[in-house]
């Protein structure tokens, strides 16, 4: 959510930003907020005036009674009662106007970073850099489910009977590989100075609306029936929620955290759930990176988080590239975002395995996460997040890039301690 002072003082900047995000249908929201805000501030002034008048008359009542002017005192009391009733109506109107302003403000996108490339959708994302040599072997790379089934590592049919499409059973060495990758990613991030956290896997509605847009929530989140609880779609949600309504000491920043969680997603929309595969599913696990920092430090942390993900994949001998997301591909709360894509020898192209995002003060403003300096100055923190690894999607890249001609899977050296010293999956 942007600062309302931007709409009050720089409405053209807000309108231009909406156009840059190719969301022209939201342009009327700016004028609606301006109108509602004027009415809201007028109501506050009127209420303040009435309170001042009420205090003045209330003081006069005692004096009138002391002077024996009972009739005039009663008239003053009646006037106070009228003011109280009028004030109650105005306070109700204040609350209604405030809520109407908030509803519209939640729909207005965050001001994007000036360096973000402009474009309506992900076809306009810009490749930044490649890491590692993408190799296409001279032998066939089967579909990832076929690789797993040959190793007796997955059972989609049973999962479909038990839970429906979008679920899976992982077994044997593939299940162990899945867990090993998560354990390795945990230690990788700890070694980079991040504090390991296991967060709640369910969060309240006020946290959901604080960390993501309404459209994202509708398309992603599973709600617990009869309770104000949602299953998290990523641990970022509960990790940022941890700081709701807090004032952070500036000297203690940044908070650099890495969190493990299962993730649950509806995957509603154009992509849908795969009939046979583990790329887009309802349930998966993830190791995440979270940073809460001062505003001036967030560009630096954005670069560091992205590099962490690249370095992690390279230790597993997986070629990757980074793509800068264009304006139309940015979620409304994001200031800047970068995708990390892994090389697929089978498809001979890159595919997304993680996303690094700087959300500026959008989440902090919604959740009231503030920073306090020694001189008493207060301001909203900046929040960032990035995927370290999200198997089983990452398993696709791992299996394809480490598959040998004889059908075995090579275990990179960094992962061997987590696989009991194994060098191959046979």
Q: Which of 400, 394, 304 is closest to 356 using CA atoms?
A: 304
Q: How far apart are CA 109 and CA 113, in angstroms?
A: 12
Write out the chain's pLDDT in tens, 426 residues.
Answer: 889 999 999 999 999 999 999 999 999 999 999 999 999 999 999 999 888 888 888 878 777 777 777 788 777 888 888 888 889 999 999 999 999 999 999 999 999 999 999 999 999 999 999 999 999 999 999 999 999 999 999 999 999 999 988 899 999 999 999 999 999 999 999 999 999 999 999 999 999 988 987 667 777 889 999 999 999 999 999 999 999 999 999 999 999 999 999 999 887 554 555 557 788 888 999 999 999 999 999 999 999 999 999 999 999 999 999 999 999 999 999 999 999 999 999 999 999 999 999 999 999 999 999 999 999 999 999 999 999 999 888 999 999 999 999 999 999 999 999 999 999 998
Q: How far apart are CA 160 and CA 166, in angstroms?
A: 8
Q: Provide the pLDDT for residue 68.
A: 76
Give the phi and the psi of residue 24 in degrees, each rounded to 5: -55, -25
Sign of the Cα pseudo-torsion (238, 239, 242, 247, in order) = negative
Sign of the Cα pseudo-torsion (361, 363, 368, 369, in order) = negative
Give this prediction's pTM. 0.88
Q: Which of 188, 206, 200, 144 is closest to 387 using CA atoms?
A: 188
Q: How far apart are CA 364 and CA 425, in angstroms?
A: 45
Q: Which of 333, 329, 295 is closest to 108 using CA atoms?
A: 333
Tokens 């890159």 correspond to 350
Instruction: Tell me the domains of the chain and their CATH numbers.
Output: 4-105 (1.10.287.40), 122-425 (3.30.930.10)
- DSSP strand E in 270-314: where? 283-293
Q: How far apart are CA 212 and CA 234, in angstroms?
A: 11
User: Edge-to-edge strand order for the sheet containing 222-223?
Assistant: 202-203, 230-231, 222-223
Give the phi and the psi of residue 392 in degrees, each rounded to 5: -90, -5
Tokens 């077994």 correspond to 171
Structure tokens at 142: 């089967």
Tell me if residue 165 falls in helix, strand or coil: coil
Q: How many residues does the chain have?
A: 426
């Amino acid at each position: 959510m942007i600062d309302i002072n931007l709409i009050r003082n720089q409405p053209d900047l807000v309108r231009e930003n909406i156009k840059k995000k190719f969301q022209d249908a939201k342009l009327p929201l700016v004028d609606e907020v301006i109108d509602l805000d004027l009415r809201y501030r007028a109501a506050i002034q009127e209420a303040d005036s009435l309170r001042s008048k009420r205090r003045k008359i209330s003081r006069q009542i005692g004096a009138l009674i002391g002077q024996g002017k009972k009739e005039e005192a009663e008239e003053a009391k009646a006037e106070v009662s009228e003011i109280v009733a009028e004030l109650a109506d105005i306070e109700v109107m204040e609350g209604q106007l405030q809520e109407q302003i908030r509803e519209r403000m939640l729909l207005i996108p965050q001001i994007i970073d000036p360096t973000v490339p402009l474009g309506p959708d992900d076809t306009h994302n810009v490749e930044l850099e490649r890491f590692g040599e993408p190799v296409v072997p001279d032998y066939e790379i089967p579909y990832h489910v076929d690789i797993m089934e040959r190793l007796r590592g997955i059972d989609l049919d049973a999962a479909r009977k038990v839970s429906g499409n979008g679920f899976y059973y992982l077994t044997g060495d593939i299940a162990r590989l899945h867990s090993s990758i998560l354990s390795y990613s945990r230690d990788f991030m700890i070694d980079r100075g991040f504090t390991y956290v296991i967060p709640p896997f369910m969060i309240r509605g006020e946290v959901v609306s604080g960390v993501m847009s309404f459209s994202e929530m509708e398309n992603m989140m599973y709600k617990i029936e009869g309770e104000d609880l949602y299953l998290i779609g990523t641990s970022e949600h509960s990790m940022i929620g941890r700081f709701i309504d807090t004032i952070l000491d500036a000297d203690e920043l940044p908070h650099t955290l890495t969190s493990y969680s299962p993730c649950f997603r509806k995957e509603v929309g154009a992509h849908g759930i795969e009939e046979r595969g583990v790329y887009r599913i309802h349930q998966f696990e993830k190791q995440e990176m979270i940073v809460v920092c001062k505003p001036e430090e967030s560009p630096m942390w954005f670069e560091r988080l992205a590099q962490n993900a690249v370095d992690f994949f390279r230790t597993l001998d997986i070629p990757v590239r980074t793509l800068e997301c264009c304006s139309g591909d940015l979620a409304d709360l994001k200031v800047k975002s970068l995708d990390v894509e892994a090389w697929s020898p089978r498809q001979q192209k890159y595919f997304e395995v993680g996303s690094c995002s700087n959300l500026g003060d959008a989440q902090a403003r919604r959740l009231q996460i503030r920073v306090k300096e020694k001189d008493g100055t207060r301001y909203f923190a900046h929040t960032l997040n990035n995927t370290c690894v999200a198997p089983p999607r990452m398993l696709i890249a791992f299996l394809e890039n480490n598959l040998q001609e004889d059908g075995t899977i090579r275990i990179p050296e960094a992962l061997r301690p987590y696989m009991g010293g194994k060098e191959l999956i046979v």
